[in-house]
A and B are shown apart, each in its own frame.
Chain A
């Protein structure tokens, strides 16, 4: 009887749910979850990256029985998790440099394979390389692409908070247009980050034809866990970009980290999907469509767009960006997306005002 019932009524969108069979609950709901990243780390209050990292790493640990090794790029995550003399990690972990975590991951993967071969182990530990958007889409992009094209057995996790937060919120190639950063300030005729710049790394990853590419956010844990679990079922290069809001950098209250990420999904601002071997295989549909302003107004980095002096043209462009995502990825309705979407920057660049 209990199992025949759908559970959404009491919130299957929640992390656990006492009514569900434990095997159907999120890994994060488990009292003995791995806690790959444990308490005592020095992340800011409400840090989305700390949350996203624990979500993803725990899922990977579950999927592999704890046989995971992590290479971490320089950045907030590294700094707040391993300041001497305290590490918040509960798994083998290494930090080398800012731009090389994908390559370090490749090296570890090779080492794990060779060691397993030498020791006669049937299964070698799996490898995760991870970094923020700066370490991934900018400085670490070459090694990332190299890891992809070699199809090294590494899952790369990009914790995307859309700027260089560790150095004090500077623009990265993942910073959205019009957003304030320390290097794209809210001054002049066109405040915030320039339009028609930036890159879509999930799309670029797909263009490598690697086995698995996905986007996810900290606002949909089950989706995120499923994706990491699925990623671990593939061998070869895999990439997941996880939207992890930064309260400090985005200028939002520390408590709304998850809410603002949810808003990024529900507006279509951040399309959530997955792709196998270069083709999109599923899209996370918007549940409650929201206008982009509802996303923007939670964040002071868009303060110039939410006040009385907001430029309606810029708002319209941001809404158009969301609408384009919704259309291209089929984020609404039941239709599967028909075409492989192009990077969102392409639409913006081709529509220069």
Chain B
């Protein structure tokens, strides 16, 4: 059914359609609207047999979720930014226990400095937590990905993080096609836990594992991750057939077929903005492809390699980076493309809510095609005026207008 609603409400509706048994809530922007709405559904009775629990911290939100999932019910929670870090210990724990929790991360920067706006620092900080991380490019994608996430999580036996850009998506009021309860029930059967805490069959979960078996436990966990690649593809296929929605998947290609000069790899809501810009560029005769990376964990090396094909240059439009290193997506792409001549670069932009406009994408494409991306890592949308106003006085250093490359940064320190 078509709705013109806020993304958060859409996600809340999608979650409710999945009939969770326990939903935990702790407020943090920009995730809050989602759980507010789920809480309302529970209270008004539209979501039945569900306990909505207001907890005292994200750490407890994750902990309660661990308890309820281990207790054998479908469990959902949501968080963002600082909240995700505050629950980090539990995040790792949930995956180690193999609990199929679904959690929305309304992606947001991490302080200090405190910043409530969108980038990908929070979710990517948990890339090694053992969770599946699925990124959404639109609110429709978010609605659909949440429904798929429960099925994927339960089939794989690992928790899933659904990452949607904070504010840009969560607070956007858009047309959404929400599947019917019948459709979702057909797609997602009642939760059958593979193991849970039951006095009829007592088990001890969460044992201490010593060096004798720890590596093997991790290997088996990684196997689940690898299996998840095919599960994601299969579940996506099923879902698309059922609803006709073009959502989910490991990745999604736009205008890729003939774009052998340049492809952009983008995660999240920037994809839509970029698609519009690519269409405009096409009218100028510039052919650029976009690969929307949906599944960051597990990372679809094979699928990505195929999607890139023989493209000469790939720019990863990244909204987070690793201090003291470089981009986060770019090295993964390099791994995928190892042994090819493909040039792979990072254009870092959109940190802490700095908007990525069509013009930003346009700039990246033009620079790329002009061969200006000479280094792996570039601070693309940095404002030299702001920088210089500080650095000139303190260190006598200035930067020219425009993007700053890694080597420029390094040289400025010499």
Residues of A in contact with B (beta carbons under 8 Å apart): 66-69, 71-72, 78-79, 81-85, 87, 89-97, 99-100, 103-115, 117-118, 125, 142-143, 145-146, 149-150, 152
Contact = CB atoms under 8 A, between A and B. Distances in A.
Given A84-B210, A111-B22, 16 more contacts: A69-B71, A92-B203, A93-B204, A95-B206, A96-B97, A100-B62, A106-B53, A107-B71, A110-B53, A112-B71, A114-B68, A118-B21, A125-B198, A142-B56, A145-B56, A150-B54
Contacts of B89: 97, 99-100
A150 B24 CA distance: 13
Contact of A95 (B21, B57, B196, B207): B207
B182 to A, nearest CB: 19
A97 B64 CA distance: 12
B72 interface: yes
A142 B56 CA distance: 7
B209 interface: yes
Nearest to B197: A92
A103 B55 contact: yes
Nearest to B89: A97
B204 A82 contact: yes
Contacts of B51: 110, 113-114
Contacts of A114: 21-22, 49-51, 68, 73
Contacts of B66: 94, 96, 100, 104, 107
A66 B201 CA distance: 11
Given A96-B90, A108-B70, A79 B57 contact: no
B207 A84 contact: yes
Contacts of A96: 63, 66-67, 70, 90, 93, 97, 206
Interface in B70-129: 70-73, 75, 89-90, 93, 97
A106 B202 contact: no
Interface string B203-244: 111111110110000000000000000000000000000000
A146 B199 contact: no
Contact of A92 (B55, B62, B68, B199): B199
B64 A110 contact: yes
Contacts of A68: 199
Q: Which of A112, A145, A149 has the most CB of B within 10 A?
A: A112
Contacts of A108: 67-68, 70-71, 197
B65 interface: yes
Contact of B59 (A89, A90, A99): A99
14 contacts: A69-B198, A83-B207, A84-B209, A84-B210, A94-B97, A106-B55, A107-B22, A108-B67, A111-B71, A112-B71, A114-B68, A115-B71, A142-B59, A149-B56
Which of A91, A104, A107, A113 has the largest number of chain B CB atoms within 10 A? A107
Q: Which 6 pairs, one residue from A and one from B, show the smallest C-beta to C-beta distance? A: A107-B67, A111-B71, A103-B63, A146-B56, A100-B63, A95-B206
A94 B201 CA distance: 13
Among A99, A105, A110, chain B packs the most CB atoms within 10 A around the CB of: A110
A114 B190 CA distance: 13
A99 B56 CA distance: 13
A84 B213 contact: yes
Contacts of B64: 103-104, 106-107, 110
Which of B63, B75, B196, B202 lies at the interface centre, i.e. has the most chain A CB atoms within 10 A of its CB? B63
- From A87, A93, A115, A143, residue with most partner B Cβ within 10 Å: A115
A97 B21 contact: no
B197 A110 contact: no
B209 to A, nearest CB: 4
Nearest to A117: B49
A204 to B, nearest CB: 14
Contact of B21 (A72, A90, A105, A115): A115
A187 B205 CA distance: 42
Contacts of B60: 100, 103, 106, 142-143, 146
Given A104-B67, A106-B53, A114-B49, A94 B197 contact: yes
Interface in B163-206: 196-199, 201-206
Contact of B208 (A83, A97, A150, A152): A83
Contacts of B90: 96-97, 100
A69 B73 CA distance: 15
Q: Which of B62, B199, B209 has the most CB of A within 10 A?
A: B199
B96 to A, nearest CB: 9
B69 interface: yes
B213 A107 contact: no
A145 B56 CA distance: 9
A97 B97 CA distance: 11
B199 A66 contact: yes
Contacts of A107: 22, 24, 53, 63-71, 75
Contacts of A110: 21-22, 51, 53, 64, 67-68, 71, 73
Contact of B72 (A97, A115, A150): A115
Contacts of B22: 107, 110-111, 114
Nearest to A81: B204
Interface string B343-361: 0000000000000000000
A79 to B, nearest CB: 6
A206 to B, nearest CB: 19
A94 B206 contact: yes
Contacts of A150: 53-55
Contacts of B21: 110-111, 114-115, 118
Contacts of A90: 202
B202 A92 contact: yes
Contacts of A69: 71, 197-199
